[in-house]
Structure formats: C-alpha cells, structure tokens
Structure 1
Amino acid sequence: MTFPLGALVTSSLLFLVAFSLPNVHSINSSWKHAAHNIIGPSNPISTPKHHRRSFLAGPWKKAQATFYEGGSGTFGGACGYEDVVKDGYGLDTVALSTVLFNKGLACGACYEIKCMDSPQGCKPGQPSLLVTATDLCPPNYALPSDNGGWCNPPREHFDLAKPAYEKIADCKAGIVSVQYRRVPCKRQGGIRFTITGNPYFNLIKVSNVGGSGDVVGVQVKGEGQLKWTDLKRNWGQRWETNAMLSGETLTFRVTTSDGRCTTSEAVAPKGWQFGQTFVGKNLA
C-alpha cells in the first residue's frame, strides 16, 4: 500500500513531537509557573534583601548653611510632607540645594551637620545636629552662587529650618561654614503610609523611614485580586498607582537607596478609608 507524501511527513512529525514531549502537562505547568514570575507589571521587581547590613555613615564633606522661616506645615513642601512633626521628623529638618535634592530622591535622607565657622556664627563647642531632608532650596540664578544664590548648581548647600539652625549657630550670622555627612536615620515607631486619592487614582505618602531614609521603590498587594504592584514616584515621597486598592487588605513593601527592603504585612485593613495613615515595619 502506498501513502501520499504529505500524509507520511505529517505522521512522522506527529511521531517526533509525541516522542520528544512524553509529558505535555508537566511542561505546560512549568511554563505557566515561569510566566507567572516573569511577565506582568503586577509582579515585584525586587525581593527583600535581609542579608544587607545596616546603612553606615558616609565621609565628612564641606558646605555652607543658611536658614529659612516657616513651621511644621511648610518645612516639608517639596517632599510632600504636609506636617514634618506629624510625619515623624520633628523640626530638625533641612531644605537641600538642587544638586543634593536630586529631583526629590533625597527626601527622607538624614545628615549630621557640624558648624565650623567659629567664632563668627557658630555656637560654642562646635555643635552638630542631625537633620532630615524634607524640602528643596530652589536656585536663584539672578544672584551669584557666592552671594545670595547659595543653592545654585553645583553648590552643595543646606538651608536649615530655623529651629534647627539655632541649635548650632546664631541667626545673626546668616550663613556659616559647615561639615556634613550622610548618617543612618533613627526613627521612633514604624514607617507611615498615608493613602489619599480616589478608587481610580491612589497616592501614597511614605514617611518616617529608618535606615538610609530615602525610598527608591514602593510596592503594594492585597489579599485577593490585587497582586504585587509597583508604585510610581509622583513627587518627593508621594507614590502613585491606578490599581484598584479599595476593598483590599493592603501589604506594602518599601525599598531604600541602599537596597534594603521591609515588608509591612496587612498594614491597612480591608475597610480602610482615604486620608488614613497606617504604621508598618521600619528599618533600623
């Protein structure tokens, strides 16, 4: 008996496929598992790196410092903190020059600042203080960098909240020379997540972060439909997502600039409301 060439080739191909794939179900399951972990914006980019050591203080550098007037409700403007006291920072805060502020990436970072302009403006004993970056000192290109345009690029400059400045220098001095370095942030209590917006646009304020203090990534997931979802930085330490968070018990994961992560499990209960603040797990 003879067979058409096409039928013979087709039969051979089917035989080869059947021979090389003896367990189609197991391969299909493996593919689904791989796809679940690789594909889709709802999966986490990073996982907690608990092996990383705590953030360490950096080297001392030279800069200058001034002060600006205001209060707890204005010292956190460019970073999205409505009230620096309620957000866990107190009044020991600072507005950074353009270079240091780095488009808001430095929000929440901590610095030790030591006054070095003695005896013209520094208080006795060359005092130092710890401050949190909560605002931007905008450039003033109408004035030279060494005479009024203190925060113009590429200067590294600290415009301290007046209550902080008064701890190290006399306000009559106006501007003083300082040494500064990045230091770990030591916070009281946990990271704070404030949820605002509406069911179709969620804006999360992340504050009171320990360790390096400056957040580079935020993720959220629910206990039901909402899988791990990456939030996008809106401005400062405000993070946004269009994912449907309402009606879900929310878990947040925060990643700081030194690569460390902390996960706050089920920190916002299922019945949470916009405008509420929830406290999660912090970094040391």
Structure 2
Amino acid sequence: MAFPLHYHLPALFSLLVFVSGVMADAEFTLSKASYYPNSDTKGTENGACEYGTFGATLNNGDVSASASLYRNGVGCGACYQVRCTDPYYCSPEGVTIVITDSGSSDGTDFILSQHAFTGMGQSADAGAALLTLGYVGIEYRRVSCSYPNKNIVFKITESSHFPYYIEFEIWYQQGSQDIIAVQLCETVTLKCQLLSRTHGAVWATVSPPTGPLYIRMLFSSGAPRVGDQKWLAPTNTIPQNWTAGAIYDSGVQMQLH
C-alpha cells in the first residue's frame, strides 16, 4: 500500500537531522582524558616540550600532555578543542588546550591541567564533579591557536653559550600548522644554517652564524596536504650579542588554518 509523501516527511526529516549531526561531528576523534593530580590552575613546569614556567601558564593554564599528539616534539604548541561526552556534566564547547608535554594515563590521549579539565563542565559545580570522576570520555579536534596582540617570540635558553652554542624555544605559535624546520640566517650575507630539533620545542646549533641574525620557520599543514608548506621570516632580528635567557620578539605572526 502506497502512502502519501506527507506521511514520510517526519521520518525523513528525523533521518536528515541524524545524518547531519553525524557529519558535523565526523571531524572529532573519540578518546579519553584525565588530569594532572598535582596541578591547581596550571600545567606542569617540567613538560617534555621544555617550556618551563611559561608552559605552566600558557593559554591561561589550559594545557595538556599527550602521547599520540606530541609527535616527537612537532606537536608542541598545537591547540585542540577537547570536550567531554557526558551530557549531564559537559558543555558542548568544551575547552581549547595547548600541548606542552608528553604523557598518557590508562590509554588517554590527554592529561589536562585541572583548570582545563574543569573547564569542560557546564558550570563550576559540573567541573568539580568531573574532577571527582578523574577519567572521562572525550572527543577532540585540532583547532587554530590564537594569541591576540602577540607575535611569535624566541626564548634563548639558559643552556646557550655565546657565541658557540645557541638554543631557543618558539612561543606563541598561532594558526593550526606545524613548524617542521627552522633556519638561522645572517642578515648581511643571507646565508642560512638548518637547525636541529633537540627535544620538544627546542631548536639548537653549534657554531651559529655571527652578526645580527633572523630565524626562518617552515610551516606545514601536514598530511594529507603535505604540499601546503610556507616559510615565514621575521621582521625583527636577533642582536649580534644575543644572551642566554633573553626573549626576542619576531615582529610577525602566522595565522593559517
């Protein structure tokens, strides 16, 4: 027996809504998350990315360790939207975190700071309830980092020794691309030297070039768009007599999505 079309419309509409919801969430990956038990409103100052105290307070303390997303340091500074999946406690927006450390716990993809963990809740009370659970189901996706009114800066580490060895971290990386290569260049001859990622977010070289210097960074969108790469050169230079512990503003910011 054939039914008029209007009899099928409610069911068809419900099916479309369901399919749309599945497609909308298709970019999220299901996983689990826990939190640093010894953290308060900050992350750890001993993270594998080697950010130190900066990494503990970066992004207002909404930071995380991750084993699978650390990627031998390439993932340092990457941002992710993380939202827990229990509708009773969890907000639909979740929280945006920055990767500052490597680690996992009981098969989790994220070990969040307590500030970030409670930030997934619908309210302060819901966030506190999440802490008592300690271990929750989540979904996550890569998103663009945003640091308004801040340029990329280079922090010369205390391990550097002028003029024989330079080592630095890259802070405030906006966008959603990875830094996969770094060059240290002379401003006069324009001769560049390819650096090594020693660990985490730290780049270094022995016998660096002399004179005023600038740092070129190669950004990549990664797979599957491996061809989407771009070099970024700062407008400001590192002085000839650079010093360990100093922070130098690049004067530029990459905003790629």
TM range (shorter): 0.7 to 0.9
Deviations 1:41-90 (A, max 9, x none): xxxxxxxxxxxxxxxxx921111111113365725610010123688533
Return the letter of the residue paired with 1:134. Answer: T
Q: What runs of 5+ residues in structure 2 fail to find an aligned partner?
A: 1-25, 121-126, 222-228
Give the match for residue 124 of structure 2.
Answer: none
Q: CA offsets per residue over residues 10-69 of structure 1, 9 Å max, x none?
A: xxxxxxxxxxxxxxxxxxxxxxxxxxxxxxxxxxxxxxxxxxxxxxxx921111111113
**TM-score after normalising by structure 1:** 0.66
Residue type matched to 1:128 in 2?
G
Compute the RMSD of aligned alpha carbons: 2.4
In the alignment of these two chains, the number of paired residues is 208
Task: Write the distance in 2 (CA, Å) between the matches of 1:212 and 1:243.
Answer: 32
Cα distance in 1 for residues equivalent to 2:94 and 2:43 = 25
Structure 2 distance, partners of 1:74, 1:85, is: 7
* Match in the other structure for 2:84: 115
CA shift for structure 1 position 206: 1.0
1:20 equivalent in structure 2: none
- How do residues 185-200 of structure 1 correspond to structure 2 at under 5 angstroms? 185-188=145-148, 189-196=150-157, 197-198=160-161, 199-200=163-164
Q: Please, which runs of 5 or more residues in structure 1 have no aligned partner?
A: 1-57, 139-147, 152-156
The equivalent residue for 2:238 is: 268
Moved over 4 A (4+): 85-88
* Aligned residue number for residue 89 of structure 1: 59
Tell me the percent identity.
26
Whether the 8 Å CA contact 1:62–1:178 is kept in 2: the answer is yes
Counterparts of residues 1-284 of structure 1 (less than 5 Å): 59-68=27-36, 69-70=38-39, 72=42, 74-75=44-45, 77-84=47-54, 88-96=58-66, 98-119=67-88, 122-123=89-90, 125-138=91-104, 149-151=106-108, 157-168=109-120, 169=127, 170-188=130-148, 189-196=150-157, 197-198=160-161, 199-212=163-176, 214-224=178-188, 227-245=191-209, 248-258=211-221, 259-280=229-250, 281-284=252-255
- Which TM-score applies when normalising by structure 2? 0.73
Deviations 1:126-168 (A, max 9, x none): 3411111111114xxxxxxxxx6224xxxxx111111111111
Q: Secondary structure at the match of 2:61?
A: coil
Report Cα offsets for 1:207-226 as digits up to 9, x if no partner.
Answer: 11111253211111123467
Distance 1:234 1:226 in 2: 24
- Shift of the 175–166 alpha-carbon distance from structure 1 to 2, 3 Å rule, reads same
Larger Rg: 1
Cα distance in 1 for partners of 2:156, 2:136 equals: 39
Select the structure with the greater relative contact order (CA < 8 A; seq sep ≥ 6).
Answer: 1
Instruction: Please say if residues 81 and 134 of structure 1, whose CA atoms lie closer than 8 Å, have aligned partners that are also in contact.
Output: yes
What SS does the corresponding residue of 1:118 show, helix, strand or coil? coil
Q: Separation in 2 of the partners of 1:183 and 1:237?
A: 19
Whole-Å Cα distance in 1 between the matches of residues 189 and 78 of structure 2?
34
Given residue 113 of structure 1, which amino acid in structure 2 is its aligned partner?
V
